[in-house]
Amino acid sequence: LCQELERLHSSAPAHEAWFTDAAIEEAFGFRRRELFEEFDARPVASGSIGQVHRATLSKVGARLTGAAPGTRVAVKVRHPGVCDSIERDFALMQAAAAMLGRLPGLAHLRLGESLEQFAAPLREQVDLGREAYYLHQFNYNFRDVAAVSFPVPHYPLVAPGVLVESFEEGRHISAYVAQGPGAPFNSTLAIIGAQTMLHMMIVDSLVHADLHPGNILVRLHTLGGRAGERLVRGVRGALRRAGAVLKVDLDPPAEWLTQPRIVLLDAGMATSLSAEDGRNMCGLFDCFSRLDGRGVAEWILRFSDDQQSCADPEAFKREVEENFRANAEADMYAHGNESNGAEALAHVLDLCRAHRVNLPGHICATVVTTLVLEGWSHDLDPAHSTLAEVQRVVAAARGGWRAWLGTVADANVLQRIPSFDEPVATGGKWDPARLFSWNH
């Protein structure tokens, strides 16, 4: 079932070519052949919202966008009828939520309010003009981060139904995840994933909310550009020749010669966090880092503040605290909670449901994004999983220079960690893999 559902990310049914041509002409006032010198009729990928075609800009398209003629681009076209289908589905769900909300046992769930919070990012996702806006914002936020990039929209070829952006090469990160821990580049990729989440959540307060592996590409980069590539080829050739003479394998590992970078696609779903949200998230992960179950529960309850629907907050705190204590006694949090962070967070969400704890939609989206990242980063390298690094950096912000050496975070992240009353004692571990994962 999971494999079949996974295909919907990039292998959903494609619409007909005539609709693509009509959508382009309606959006920009030019025929497809006028804007694009080459245009692959077969889409590179087709998802639930739209499909993507590979193309090259014509002289007209280049003149409009300021790019060079022949520039390779990706043309994203929204599927026909998507907006109507979404509105129809939400109208039916709103009617059902209104009826269920009248039942005494379900009134506390605020189904109508939750549905509206869920609907907002989906409505934004079908507006490709909104996606272009988020891409512009993410590119600006990560302008100084070499390890992470996003497609660049080609204005003015941006409309609600069609988006022209830079074509990004690379392998899907799922190919690296499938190799498991210990494979080349996997530790570095896990670190980059953690750094990216920290940067979005703590520095930018804008989180890409659709970070499944199908939306993440990996590119390998040789340090030093072309000169570095020539040097690498020379060194590798010399080592191979020496190895042939000595009859030993002297070919250096790939990680010594290149570094991975990631490209994040499909930024149509994004979640903004307020300063208070950021403080609450930091407090939540701070308590996770100290295995403070009661503190975890208290920070969760703060997310909804006056609108909290939990009938017995003290019982919720007590059960979360008991859950953490039981797991700690069973040694489930060994090695800094690197192996079971996702399960612990997922179980806390189950307790939220059982105790009718209300969480705002944008907070749920951020937590779910963290869990998705935790899933593939843990498969890449459990020691550098996303949740483990989030916990580590919150502790490192107040743990002195030894703890700072033990975190992947850059100065921007550490400076924005809020201060709390409880001191944190933590011992950092020197990890050279972190040196070249972010700004190189």
- The tens digit of pLDDT for each residue in 51-91 reads 999 999 999 999 999 999 999 999 999 999 999 998 999 89
What residues form DSSP beta bridges with 260?
Answer: 220
DSSP helix/strand/coil, 252: coil
**Bigger pLDDT: 420 or 154?**
154
What is the DSSP pairing of strand 148-149 with strand 258-264? parallel
Evaluate whether 193 touches 373 at the Cβ level (below 8 Å).
yes
Of 325, 428, 309, which Cα lies nearest the Cα of 359?
A: 309
Kindly state the average pLDDT of the residues 248-255: 64
Catalytic residue status for 292: no
pLDDT band, residue 241 (cuts 50/70/90): confident
pLDDT band, residue 405 (cuts 50/70/90): low
The pTM score is 0.81
Phi and psi (nearest 5°) for 92?
-65, -40
Q: Spell out the residues 6+ positions from residue 395 whose beta carbon is closer than 8 angstroms to its own.
A: 286, 289, 290, 403, 424, 426
Give the C-alpha separation, 109 to 100, whole Å.
Answer: 10
pLDDT for residue 168 is more than 50: yes
pLDDT for residue 317 is more than 80: yes
Whole-number Cα distances in Å, 140 to 12, 151, 262, 431: 31, 12, 16, 29
Report the pLDDT value the prediction gives residue 75, as an integer from 0 to 100: 98
pLDDT for residue 228 is more than 70: no
Beta strands in 72-158, from DSSP E residues, in sequence order: 72-78, 148-149, 153-158
Report the pLDDT value the prediction gives residue 427, as an integer from 0 to 100: 39
pLDDT for residue 292 is more than 80: yes
Evaluate whether 195 touches 141 at the Cβ level (below 8 Å).
no
What region, left, alpha or beta, does residue 7 occupy, with left being phi > 0 and alpha being psi -120 to 50 degrees? alpha
pLDDT band, residue 406 (cuts 50/70/90): low
pLDDT for residue 266 is more than 90: yes
pLDDT band, residue 124 (cuts 50/70/90): confident
**Bigger pLDDT: 307 or 255?**
307
In the chain, pLDDT over 90 holds for what percent of residues? 41
For 106, the token pair is 């379900």
Report the pLDDT value the prediction gives residue 258, as an integer from 0 to 100: 82
Catalytic residue among 21, 144, 204, 210: 210
Phi and psi (nearest 5°) for 293?
-65, -40
pLDDT band, residue 336 (cuts 50/70/90): very low
Report the pLDDT value the prediction gives residue 8, as an integer from 0 to 100: 61
Give the C-alpha separation, 207 to 368, whole Å.
Answer: 11
pLDDT for residue 130 is more than 70: yes
Judge residue 388's burial from the number of C-beta atoms within 10 Å of its C-beta, 0-12 exposed, 13-18 middle, 19 or more buried. buried
Whole-number Cα distances in Å, 246 to 236, 249, 250, 251, 420: 15, 9, 9, 12, 60
Report the pLDDT value the prediction gives residue 253, as an integer from 0 to 100: 62
Report the pLDDT value the prediction gives residue 305, as an integer from 0 to 100: 74
Report the pLDDT value the prediction gives residue 73, as an integer from 0 to 100: 98
